[in-house]
Structure formats: C-alpha cells, structure tokens
Amino acid sequence: MLSKRIEELLNEQINYELFSSYLYLSMSAYLSDLNMNGYAHWFHIQAQEEKDHAMIIYNYVISAGGRVRLEAIDGPKTEFTDIREVLEETLEHERMITQKIYKIVDEATSEKDYKTVKALEWFINEQVEEEENAVDNIAKYNMLADDAKGLYLLDKEMLARVYVPSAMLGNKA
C-alpha cells in the first residue's frame, strides 16, 4: 500500500506527464504551421511517449494499492518565436520533469518505500535519454539553422522517428 504522500506525489506526476504530452502536442501543431513536418512528427511521437509515461505511473499506482486522482491540466504554451525556442523549452521542461521524479524518489527513499523507488528507476533512466535527446536536437539545429538545405535535411531526419510503445506499459495501456 502506498502512503498518502507517495500516492499524492505519483498522482501529481501523472498530471505532469499528461501536461508534457499536451505541451509536445502544442509544439507539434506550431511546427506543422511552419511546414516543418519532420519536427512536427518528432514532437507528435514525443507527446505519445509522455502519455505512455503517465499510464505507466497510473498502472503502478493501481497495482500498488493506491487511488489515481486526475486533476485538470493547464493549457500549454501555443506560440513560440522559432524552432530554437521550442527546442530550448523542451530541454528546460525535461530538466524540470527530472527534478519532479527525483523528488518522488527522495520521498519514497525516506519512507523506505523501496517498491516505488524500484518502479521509478526506469523513469530516472528515461529522463537521461529525454535530456540527451533535447541537447542533441538543440546542437543539430544550432549547426544547421542558418543553412536552408541543412535545415531541410534535418527536418527529414526528424521525420524518421518511429513510435515504439514502452515495454513498461505491459497489457494495461
């Protein structure tokens, strides 16, 4: 059984993950409006992955004897200056999510709730990947942003991303 505090933090994280999905969908829409279809595709897949993250925590809360309580999700930002702003805000957002995960792990560790600590190990590793992707996307964009042909090729590269559901979802998604 989850403590009330851990249950509360996990429910908050579900909402953060759903907001992340909403934010990335908003970024995808903005990029579509710029006819940057590869970038729009990449962020659309990112939105799906964030929804998956929410569902992984959702399933964990239920399996650990807790109760899921969904809250209203704030509307995401919808206007951006340019692609660089989208990419930089992505990195900032992922770093914030990493800190939220760490906070839950810290609390679970202090409560000796090792099942929750173990469940969140996957998220810690996932956040390393999320931040690395954001840093890489910024670096590639910065190299090619002033070269129209290079940016075109980079957009095509972003279009190659394939959605793969997380094995952590099991059959419960």
Domain limits, the chain: 4-162
Q: What is the mean pLDDT of residues 101-120?
A: 98
Tokens for 173?
């998604």
- The answer to whether residues 156 and 42 touch, using CB atoms and an 8 Å cutoff, is no
18, two tokens: 């759903």
In whole angstroms, what is the distance from residue 149 CA to residue 153 CA?
6
* Residue range 36-73, pLDDT digits in tens: 999 999 999 999 999 999 999 999 999 999 999 999 99
Among all chains, which residue has been given the structure tokens 């969908």? 25
CA–CA separation, 28 and 1 (whole Å): 39
pLDDT confidence bin for 144, thresholds 50/70/90? very high
User: What is this structure's pTM?
Assistant: 0.94
Of the candidates 161, 109, 104, the residue with the CA atom closest to the CA atom of residue 136: 161
How many percent of the chain have pLDDT more than 70?
98
Task: Please report which confidence band the pLDDT of residue 173 belongs to, taking 50, 70 and 90 as the band edges.
Answer: very low
Q: Which CATH superfamily is domain 4-162 in?
A: Ferritin, core subunit, four-helix bundle (1.20.1260.10)
